[in-house]
Amino acid sequence: MPMKKIFSKPASLKDAPFHYCPGCGHSIAHRLLCEAFDELDIRGIAIGVPPAGCAVLAYNYLDVDMIESAHGRGPAVATGIKRMLPDRVVFSYQGDGDLAAIGIAESFHAANRGENISVFFINNAVYGMTGGQMAPTTTMGQRTTTSPLGRSKELEGHPVQVCELFSHLRGTTYIERCAVNTPANILKTKKAILKSLQYQIDKRGFTLVEILSPCPTNWKMSPVEACKWISDVMTKEFPLGVMKDIPSAQQKKGVDAHEQ
Amino acid sequence: MKGYIEIKKEICKECHLCISVCNRDCIVPSTEYNLKGYHPVSFNDNGKCNGCSLCAIICPEVAIEVYRD
């Protein structure tokens, strides 16, 4: 019997080879997004906003319409696009320097307004593109080029937990934190991305998926060690899981009420 | 169940994540070079590959295609 092809490149991913370092999580996140576009069949109506950072060239890889925004202002630009073209699927793809540092105001207020957009937040705990400086999400004790003795509470403060912070806003609908360090976590991340885009299509409101992503180059580790470091250290600071999921909670409540 | 994988050697960046997740030693490092100067991994056809796709799921470069009967 001839063998069937069961895994290959998604159609929404262009043929260009990735410019990312070996073992980078950005390319895994790109692939998952493209798989989600194919499965929901929204390649023709999706509009993305790439960040400033390593993924600034995301439009070279994702075969959907994309428009670059100023550093950190992705959710503000996505808000404008979504309000003018409400039938499109609008997403913003951001790194931790983009969303949690320079763009925290725009992201926070877009979430607070409950804009009907999806935000994909790649958290790799450092500023990757500029050479591994400390980011707001750098974990306690982590050594970076600007915290050479390790991040300390007194000098740099605690890391910003974006998911926990945003889940307290009444405008947000669905917040989940995932990782792309093991095949099991990658499949969970894909489910979260699908859910987020589906909620947007159903007009449920603001959704955010945080993706813990390895950065072996700036963590000064091998790719395999970097994936292990996410499990051992990073998930202690940033626990994985669903922080908020109003539609599924409502559905569950509805089922319970029906049963009674 | 039998399977096999095809590795696109020119886009492999030698991160070895596929080797770390394969439970059956079906992927091995190699000593050849690709155009970028990396040593791409190669498929070790030991008859144990069952097409589980773990390597393809974790491959950041989407360099692996999986076939299964």
Q: Give me the CATH number covering residue A251.
A: 3.40.50.970
Report how far residue A158's alpha carbon sits from residue A237's, in angstroms, rounded to the nearest whole number: 10
**pLDDT tens, chain A, 260 aa long:** 688 999 999 999 999 999 999 999 999 999 999 999 999 999 999 999 999 999 999 999 999 999 999 999 999 999 999 999 999 999 999 999 999 999 999 999 999 999 999 999 999 999 999 999 999 999 999 999 999 999 999 999 999 999 999 999 999 999 999 999 999 999 999 999 999 999 999 999 999 999 999 999 999 999 999 999 999 999 999 999 999 999 999 988 887 776 65
Q: Quick one: pLDDT band at residue B1, thresholds 50, 70, 90?
A: confident
Give the domain range for residue B51. 3-68
**Residue B6 sits at the chain A interface (C-beta within 8 Å):** no
**For chain B, what is the domain count?**
1
Q: Please answer whether residues A11 and A43 qualify as being in contact, where contact means their C-beta atoms are separated by less than 8 angstroms.
A: yes
Residues of B in contact with A223 (CB under 8 A): 15-17
Residue to test with chain B: of A7, A27, A31, most B Cβ within 10 A: A7
Q: Give me the CATH number covering residue B7.
A: 3.30.70.20
Q: What are phi and psi for residue A241, nearest 5 degrees? A: 135, 175
A13 in a domain, yes or no? no
Taking an 8 Å cut-off on Cβ atoms, the answer to whether B68 and A4 are in contact is yes
Residues of A in contact with B64 (CB under 8 A): 7
Report how far residue A89's alpha carbon sits from residue A172's, in angstroms, rounded to the nearest whole number: 17
* Most distant CA atoms of chain A, gap in Å: 65
Q: Please answer whether residues B64 and B7 qualify as being in contact, where contact means their C-beta atoms are separated by less than 8 angstroms.
A: yes
A32 in a domain, yes or no? yes
Q: Please answer whether residues A128 and A144 qualify as being in contact, where contact means their C-beta atoms are separated by less than 8 angstroms.
A: no
Chain A to chain B Cβ contacts (< 8 Å): 78
Cα–Cα distances in angstroms (integers) from residue A233 to residues A101, A136, A166, A236, A243, in the given order: 22, 16, 22, 5, 20
Q: If DSSP codes are grouped into helix, strand and coil, which group holds residue A237? A: helix
pLDDT tens column, B48-59: 999 999 999 999
Residues of A in contact with B58 (CB under 8 A): 28, 182-183, 186
Taking an 8 Å cut-off on Cβ atoms, the answer to whether B57 and A187 are in contact is yes
Choose the closest CB to A227 out of B17, B67, B68: B17
Q: Give me the mean pLDDT over the B7-20 stretch.
A: 95
**For chain A, what is the domain count?**
1
pTM above 0.90, yes or no: yes
Give the domain range for residue A160. 25-259
Q: Quick one: pLDDT band at residue B69, thresholds 50, 70, 90?
A: confident
CA distance to partner chain B, nearest, from residue A2 (Å): 6
